[in-house]
A = this chain, B = another copy of it.
Amino acid sequence: MKASIINIGDELLIGQVVNTNATYMSRALTMSGIAVVEVCTIGDSSEAIEASVHRCLEQSDLVLMTGGLGPTKDDITKETLCRMFGSELYENAEALANIERIFAQRGFPMTETNRRQAWVPRCCEMINNDLGTAPCMWFNATTPTHPNIQTSKSPKALVSLPGVPFEMEYLIDKKILPLVRERFQLGSIVCKNLLVQGIGESFLSDRLEAVEASLPPHIKLAYLPQAGMIKLRITATSDTASDVLQNEVKIVSEKIRSAAGEFIVGEDHECLAEVVASLMREKRLTLSAAESCTGGQIAAQLTVLAGASEYFKGGIVSYCNEVKADIVGVEQSTLDRHSAVSEATVREMAEGARYRMKSDYAVATTGVAGPTGGSDLNPVGTVWMAVATPEQTVTKKMRYNGRRQQVIDRAVNEVFAMLIREVSGQ
């Protein structure tokens, strides 16, 4: 089954707002076994709405659209759909009651403008939006009562949802997807992520040539390059039950492991910070960090994940030599003799963090993120990394190109990968 998504809103077209609604809806549909074929973002224009609705209904069985349902003049979705479906607006009692309830709750008086939000096209099925004043609308797009909609004879549906993220998310999860499962014949989709680090995309694809050649058409392998790593995504789709797919995907991932296993540092995770978190918690280990050029990114990426306090004791961002010496415990003589960007310094940073914050493991970075500050010895992009373990301290030097942000992101993933390899004994 195919679906298209239409997001309406000028704020999206001028780049004021990141379209996270599209991401949420795409993921929800995909996880329900529905293949999203297009996400289309357009402005608050009835011509644009008409054109994209017609196109999307042609190419898919289900069209979900958000936006343009507010009470103000620039919200024209309802009128446009009403005209397209050759219908008329009427005041829906349930929608009105819902709006009255919400205003009573907020203790605001209700205006005529608010009341008008209860008007919906007669031809649609009003789906009550318990969290907001804009009703959700389900249109059966192939019944003969809708002369203006020309599509194939197979059942198709168009659903108009409010663009407010938490209202949309609630309606998708609690009302729309259940209805879709009830009214459409859904296939299944199984996805699996492998996080690969330490090999370039082209070398990886050479390694996986045989695996890729052996893939049946319903299983796809995608390379998603990220800062200093690659997320490999296996996607299997079918019209039948997903347990068969689960097994097929498992076999493919095993083939990939045997072809490039030494570079796989994570499975079924979205990012390396998640891998670090689950490893540390599973093995009941603690971690600390001493960061120079990564400037707190290591700590920030770990602590943004819920439950970080179970294993992460703390970090020191030693952005000047004084702090490296006084707080982290790097010997002044080491800084004088080897400079701040050196193996000796990064080693003492990791060991100092581990000792002073009393953690089982510690990671450290020091380098030149740029754009300035480079030297012949340490050009911009040079980063030293270290992992201190209960047994030893391992170090590594990298030379990245790219801008400041990329140098930082790559260094963070590199040191996460070093840590993962140490802890999992790879």
A residues within 8 Å of B by Cβ?
A: 10-20, 22-30, 35-44, 48, 52, 55, 70-74, 102, 105-108, 111, 113-114, 131, 164, 166, 170, 191, 200-203, 205-206, 212, 220-225, 233, 235, 288-289, 291, 294-300, 302-304, 306-309, 312-320, 322-323, 326-327, 356-358, 370-373, 399, 401-406, 408
Contact = CB atoms under 8 A, between A and B. Distances in A.
Copies of this subunit: 2
A87 to B, nearest CB: 24
B295 A297 contact: no
Nearest to A43: B37
Contact of A27 (B14, B43, B205): B14
Given A16-B224, A289-B317, 4 more contacts: A72-B201, A166-B405, A304-B404, A314-B319
| 10 tightest Cβ-Cβ pairs between the two chains A and B | A295-B303, A15-B27, A296-B299, A15-B26, A296-B296, A314-B323, A296-B300, A315-B317, A39-B41, A113-B202
A17 B231 CA distance: 11
Contacts of A403: 131, 166, 170
Nearest to A311: B319
A205 B74 CA distance: 11
Given A235-B10, A316-B314, A399-B105, A27 B16 contact: yes
A20 B36 CA distance: 18
A151 to B, nearest CB: 17
Nearest to A24: B15
Contact of A18 (B20, B73, B170, B222): B20
Given A296-B303, A323-B313, A70 B223 contact: yes
